[in-house]
């Protein structure tokens, strides 16, 4: 919201303060200011006297004669009286320059906004052979709004030579742009009056605004029938006659431009200015368009058609509130007026609505009809219904002051059946001090609240606080709210930081976080993986390519794009997509993600298990080669060994995912419990995804791992006698599992065999149905050194065992 410092200064004695410096204080004490703009001289580097000099060159001027330019058809030679010793003839290209026009003249030395948007200092120019000093200017050339249409037309009588800064204080001004979000909870700050009140309190200056006195005759015109008092706590209106629609005075036009409102005509401008000043939106109806003599506030009929004044046609619902005459709605209450009741150029009689509406209802209607207006933005903040009366008088006074012959022609019709009861809060000085961690007494609290216009009575440390109506609608209702008032007024900078004193508690850490952390340390540590993150949404196309059914995924009501309408139930579609994006640049990828996947039907609360998803790719690998698979197996088993939950292992996987190779897959176990799987990407999936690289995936279920009992592997006593190693290479059919051979070898002489490991695998087209496996037997006896004879005996028994059991061939 834009705020004019000159306009604020009308309502509080703060005009002498530095508005730029004060903006920081305001940000720290009230709400965030996005931007502070010193306006009037487009060149921000000019300061002090230089700035004042440039400003003084912009004055009101009257055109007293015009004649054609001798060289150019579109230019005129215009004589202007700008209050100088004698009039001056200048060249002007403005289409609206004419004798008698009152406009604004920028003399030599003035700074205007040049054609390129940069500041330009005016000097003498020769235009098509005619020398010219100074120029008549448009609003845009003065840096006011974006109206380039012609030179300014001054509608009110101002003496030529009057500096514009004097005629229109908002010309030379400081504008604050306050972040609207930071005013969400401050319905009182949506107008200059409320802001002035806040600034006055902050600076300990008097707040001077009083609503103007207006006399309403005792004559009824339009009656009000409120059929929905729950949605409209207060509705008032009155009639004004003798209206002449025309331009607003110059100062007001400039002020409105500064506040981000384009001036339209006096009636529209007055309602806007009243809203921007008092904070309550108003609406002016053309009296001719109101059928009958009653305004009805009612819920819309279901499907009732209504066209707002921006030309959009709506179908309303019974949740929408309308303002209607005897036959038809004339406004969507609090949101926008109707096309059918707008004021027009020939309007002479108006009915002014000033009302208060239910915040939630206005918000619902504005959201549903997609009609967010300055009016709805204010009403949805819960405005003080008492503003209704102030805003009415402010508007009436503007009309009476600026439209000669206008008069108030009816009584103030006011339906306000249940004014809210005053909000009273009881608290103590000690409570406020304790919550802030600041030494404040009840008297100091009372002083701050008093400045902010709260009613306060103290009794020792006890405080009884009556909240002013403009803070009581939503903002302030409990003692904690008063803590904030005191804190922000004192400045949080004045609170000394102090760490809390606390009792020790038993240590606890979430098992699943320990699991994740250890996995991350292993994977991103010695195992050389990159930790990645991918989105929780996934593409239908990728799901289908993976053989997954999009319909079995949780669907979004409002997806960010139509291609990604569901939540991931597996991390692999997104990770594989990442592998594809990267594979040209990164032939070998080693990535993983720790995150949640989402399972659920369309009803009930979804389960969201935490998963580790690993991918290993090698673009140059042969898809038939199993190296990647066994590299992944090695990595996963190593990572799981850090978990202290028993020995990791692999076994046959009965139910691979649709995108997994049906054979090159394995279940991963930890302490015998299934905790995940490893699989090569199915060739069909690879083809459908257009994935060039063979990829092996691994999936570990972190919650399952976290649920397993902790197993600490006990120390193994060191052997007292030296051990021996014995290697054995066997050629077995490919259908024989290495683990079975190892187990058989271990069983040959279990009392002396400590461990059997397979340390080499060799396959060759020379023996296509067989595979060469090399085992190392770690042998030792508890009580003595092994003898060579024992070794020979063991070897022979081992050879015969594998020959018998596995049809193995053993090289001699």
Q: How far is the CB of 273 from another protein (least distance, A)?
A: 24
Q: Which of residues 329-388 bind another protein (CB under 8 A)?
A: 359-360, 363-364, 380-381
Q: How far is the CB of 154 from another protein (least distance, A)?
A: 36
**What's the CA dihedral at 535, 538, 541, 542 to 10 degrees?**
60
Q: What angle do CA 143, 148, 150 make, to 5 degrees?
A: 115
Q: How far is the CB of 490 from another protein (least distance, A)?
A: 11
Nearer to another protein, 29 or 247 (CB): 29
Q: Which of residues 168-227 bind another protein (CB under 8 A)?
A: 181-186
- Strand 76-81 with 588-596, pairing: unpaired
Pairwise CA distance, residues 121 & 43, whole Å: 9
Q: Which of residues 626-665 bind another protein (CB under 8 A)?
A: 626-627, 630-631, 633-635, 637-638, 650-652, 661-665
Residue among 49, 124, 213, 603 that touches another protein (CB under 8 A): 603
Pairwise CA distance, residues 376 & 585, whole Å: 53
Pairwise CA distance, residues 11 & 16, whole Å: 13
Q: Is 90 left (phi over 0), alpha (psi -120 to 50) or beta?
A: beta
Q: How far is the CB of 372 from another protein (least distance, A)?
A: 10
Q: How far is the CB of 305 from another protein (least distance, A)?
A: 25
Residue among 551, 555, 647, 792 that touches another protein (CB under 8 A): 555
Q: How far is the CB of 466 from another protein (least distance, A)?
A: 19
**What's the CA dihedral at 508, 513, 515, 519 to 10 degrees?**
-140
Residue among 426, 535, 720, 796 that touches another protein (CB under 8 A): 535
Neighbours of 537 (CB within 10 A): 17
**Does residue 539 interact with another protein by CB under 8 A?**
no
Nearest to 55 by CA among 121, 125, 132: 121
**Does residue 435 interact with another protein by CB under 8 A?**
yes
Nearer to another protein, 104 or 362 (CB): 362
Q: How far is the CB of 454 from another protein (least distance, A)?
A: 16
**Does residue 747 interact with another protein by CB under 8 A?**
no
Site string for another protein, 99-138 (x = CB under 8 A): ----------------------------------------
| Interacting span for another protein (CB under 8 A) from 60-68, 405-413, 758-766, 779-787 | 758-766
Q: Tokens 């906004």 sit at which residue?
A: 113
> Which token pair is 501?
């004193």
Q: Which of residues 680-739 bind another protein (CB under 8 A)?
A: 683-684, 734-739
Nearer to another protein, 368 or 720 (CB): 368
* DSSP E strand boundaries for 25-57: 33-39
Q: Are 174 and 37 within 8 A, CB to CB?
A: yes
Pairwise CA distance, residues 107 & 297, whole Å: 55
Nearer to another protein, 45 or 215 (CB): 45
In DSSP terms, 235 is beta-bridged to: 355, 415
Nearer to another protein, 500 or 709 (CB): 500
Backbone φ, ψ for residue 532 (5° rounding): -120, 165
Residue among 45, 215, 370, 558 that touches another protein (CB under 8 A): 558
Q: Which of residues 457-496 bind another protein (CB under 8 A)?
A: 478, 480-481, 483-484, 487-488, 492-493, 495-496
Q: How far is the CB of 177 from another protein (least distance, A)?
A: 12
- CA quadruple 475, 476, 481, 482: dihedral sign: positive
Q: How far is the CB of 240 from another protein (least distance, A)?
A: 33
Neighbours of 303 (CB within 10 A): 9
| Interacting span for another protein (CB under 8 A) from 47-55, 143-151, 240-248, 513-521 | 513-521
Residue among 47, 310, 740, 793 that touches another protein (CB under 8 A): 740
Residue among 213, 557, 716, 789 that touches another protein (CB under 8 A): 557
- Strand 2-4 with 135-136, pairing: unpaired
Q: How far is the CB of 495 from another protein (least distance, A)?
A: 5
Q: How far is the CB of 276 from another protein (least distance, A)?
A: 19
Q: Which of residues 405-434 bind another protein (CB under 8 A)?
A: 434
Q: How far is the CB of 51 from another protein (least distance, A)?
A: 20
Nearer to another protein, 508 or 715 (CB): 508
Q: Which of residues 36-95 bind another protein (CB under 8 A)?
A: none
Q: How far is the CB of 143 from another protein (least distance, A)?
A: 20
Pairwise CA distance, residues 385 & 254, whole Å: 30
**Does residue 610 interact with another protein by CB under 8 A?**
yes
Nearest to 740 by CA among 797, 803, 802: 802
**Does residue 549 interact with another protein by CB under 8 A?**
no
Sorted by sequence, the CB contacts under 8 Å of residue 247 that are 6+ apart come out as 153, 155, 253, 263, 265, 266
Q: How far is the CB of 35 from another protein (least distance, A)?
A: 9
Nearer to another protein, 198 or 390 (CB): 198
Q: How far is the CB of 470 from another protein (least distance, A)?
A: 17
| Interacting span for another protein (CB under 8 A) from 329-337, 406-414, 506-514, 789-797 | 506-514
Q: Are 627 and 658 within 8 A, CB to CB?
A: no
Nearer to another protein, 56 or 669 (CB): 669
Nearest to 92 by CA among 148, 154, 60, 135: 135
Sorted by sequence, the CB contacts under 8 Å of residue 490 that are 6+ apart come out as 436, 438, 440, 448
Q: How far is the CB of 642 from another protein (least distance, A)?
A: 13
Nearer to another protein, 69 or 358 (CB): 358
Nearest to 21 by CA among 8, 7, 33: 33
| Interacting span for another protein (CB under 8 A) from 207-215, 303-311, 501-509, 792-800 | 501-509
Sorted by sequence, the CB contacts under 8 Å of residue 249 that are 6+ apart come out as 155, 156, 402
Q: Which of residues 572-601 bind another protein (CB under 8 A)?
A: 574-575, 578, 581-582, 585-586, 589-591, 593, 595-596, 598, 600-601
Q: Are 470 and 187 within 8 A, CB to CB?
A: yes
Q: Which of residues 28-47 bind another protein (CB under 8 A)?
A: 28-32
Q: How many residues bind another protein (CB under 8 A)?
A: 129
Pairwise CA distance, residues 783 & 781, whole Å: 6
DSSP, residue by residue, 321-358? EEEE-SSSEEEETTTEEBGGG---TT---EEEEEEE--
Nearer to another protein, 216 or 598 (CB): 598
Is residue 326 exposed (0-12), middle (13-18) or buried (19+ Cβ within 10 Å)? exposed
Q: Are 583 and 693 within 8 A, CB to CB?
A: yes
**Does residue 499 interact with another protein by CB under 8 A?**
yes
Pairwise CA distance, residues 91 & 67, whole Å: 10
> Which token pair is 157?
């009588």
């Amino acid at each position: 919201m834009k705020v004019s410092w000159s306009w604020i200064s009308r309502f509080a004695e703060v005009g002498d303060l530095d508005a730029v410096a004060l903006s920081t204080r305001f940000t720290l004490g009230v709400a965030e200011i996005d931007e502070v703009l010193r306006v009037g001289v487009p060149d921000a580097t000019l300061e002090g006297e230089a700035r004042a000099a440039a400003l003084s060159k912009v004055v009101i001027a009257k055109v007293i004669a015009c004649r054609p330019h001798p060289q150019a058809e579109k230019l005129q030679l215009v004589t202007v009286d700008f209050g100088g010793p004698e009039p001056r003839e200048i060249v002007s290209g403005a289409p609206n320059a004419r004798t008698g026009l009152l406009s604004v003249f920028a003399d030599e030395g003035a700074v205007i906004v040049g054609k390129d948007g940069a500041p330009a200092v005016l000097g003498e120019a020769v235009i098509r052979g005619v020398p010219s000093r100074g120029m008549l200017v448009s609003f845009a050339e003065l840096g006011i709004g974006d109206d380039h249409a012609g030179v300014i037309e001054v509608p009110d009588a101002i003496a030529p030579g009057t500096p514009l800064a004097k005629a229109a204080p908002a010309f030379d001004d400081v504008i604050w742009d306050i972040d609207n979000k930071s005013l969400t909870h401050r319905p009182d700050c949506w107008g200059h009056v409320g802001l002035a009140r806040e600034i006055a309190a902050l600076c300990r200056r008097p707040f001077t605004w009083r609503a103007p006195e207006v006399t309403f005759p005792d004559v009824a015109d339009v009656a009000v029938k409120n059929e929905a008092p729950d949605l409209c706590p207060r509705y008032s209106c009155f009639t004004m006659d003798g209206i002449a629609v025309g331009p607003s005075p110059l100062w007001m036009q400039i002020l409105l431009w500064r506040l981000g409102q384009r001036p339209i005509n006096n009636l529209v401008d007055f309602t806007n200015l009243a809203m921007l000043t008092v904070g309550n939106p108003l609406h002016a109806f053309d009296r001719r368009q109101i059928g009958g003599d009653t305004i009805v506030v009612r819920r819309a009929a279901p499907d009732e058609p209504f066209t707002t004044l921006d030309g959009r046609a709506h179908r309303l619902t019974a949740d929408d509130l309308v303002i209607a005459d005897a036959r038809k709605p004339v406004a969507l209450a609090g949101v926008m007026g109707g096309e059918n009741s707008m004021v027009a150029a020939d309007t002479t009689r108006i009915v002014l609505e000033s009302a208060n509406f239910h915040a939630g209802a206005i918000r619902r209607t504005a959201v549903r009809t997609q009609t967010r207006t300055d009016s709805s933005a204010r009403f949805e903040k819960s405005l003080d219904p008492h503003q209704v009366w102030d805003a009415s008088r402010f508007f009436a006074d503007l009309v009476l002051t600026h439209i000669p012959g206008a008069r108030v022609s009816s009584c103030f019709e006011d339906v306000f059946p249940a004014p809210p009861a005053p909000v009273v809060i009881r608290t103590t000085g000690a409570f406020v001090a304790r919550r802030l961690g600041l030494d404040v007494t009840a008297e100091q609290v009372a002083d701050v609240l008093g400045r902010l216009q709260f009613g306060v009575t103290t009794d020792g440390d006890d405080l009884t606080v009556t909240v002013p109506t403009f803070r009581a609608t939503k903002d302030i209702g409990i003692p904690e709210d008063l803590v904030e008032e005191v804190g922000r007024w004192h400045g949080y900078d004045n609170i000394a930081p102090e760490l809390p004193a606390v009792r020790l508690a038993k240590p606890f850490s979430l098992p699943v976080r320990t699991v994740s952390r250890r996995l991350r340390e292993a994977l991103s540590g010695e195992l050389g993986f990159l930790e990645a993150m991918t989105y929780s949404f996934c593409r239908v196309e990728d799901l289908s390519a993976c053989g997954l059914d999009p319909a079995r995924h949780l669907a979004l009501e409002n997806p960010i794009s139509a291609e990604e309408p569901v939540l991931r139930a597996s991390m692999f579609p997104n990770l594989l997509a990442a592998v594809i994006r990267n594979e040209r640049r990164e032939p070998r990828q080693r990535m993983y993600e720790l995150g949640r996947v989402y399972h659920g039907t369309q009803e009930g609360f979804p389960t969201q298990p935490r998963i580790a998803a690993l991918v290993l790719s090698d673009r140059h690998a042969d898809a038939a080669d199993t190296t990647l698979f066994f590299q992944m197996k090695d990595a996963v088993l190593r990572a799981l060994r850090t978990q202290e939950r028993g020995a990791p292992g692999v076994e046959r996987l009965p139910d691979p995912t649709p995108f997994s190779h049906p054979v090159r897959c394995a279940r991963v176990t930890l302490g015998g419990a299934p905790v995940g799987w490893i699989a090569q990407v199915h060739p069909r999936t690879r083809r459908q995804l257009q994935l060039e690289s063979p990829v092996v995936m691994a999936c570990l279920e972190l919650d399952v791992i976290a649920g397993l009992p902790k197993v600490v592997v006990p120390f193994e006593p060191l052997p007292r006698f030296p051990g021996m190693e014995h290697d054995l290479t066997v050629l077995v059919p490919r259908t024989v599992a290495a683990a079975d051979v190892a187990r058989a070898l271990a069983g040959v002489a279990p009392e002396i065999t400590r461990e059997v490991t397979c340390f080499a695998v060799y396959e060759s087209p020379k023996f296509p149905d067989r595979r060469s496996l090399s085992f190392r037997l770690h042998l030792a006896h508890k009580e003595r050194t092994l003898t060579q004879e024992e070794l020979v005996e063991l070897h022979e028994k081992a050879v015969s065992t594998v020959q018998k059991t596995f049809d193995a061939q053993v090289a001699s």
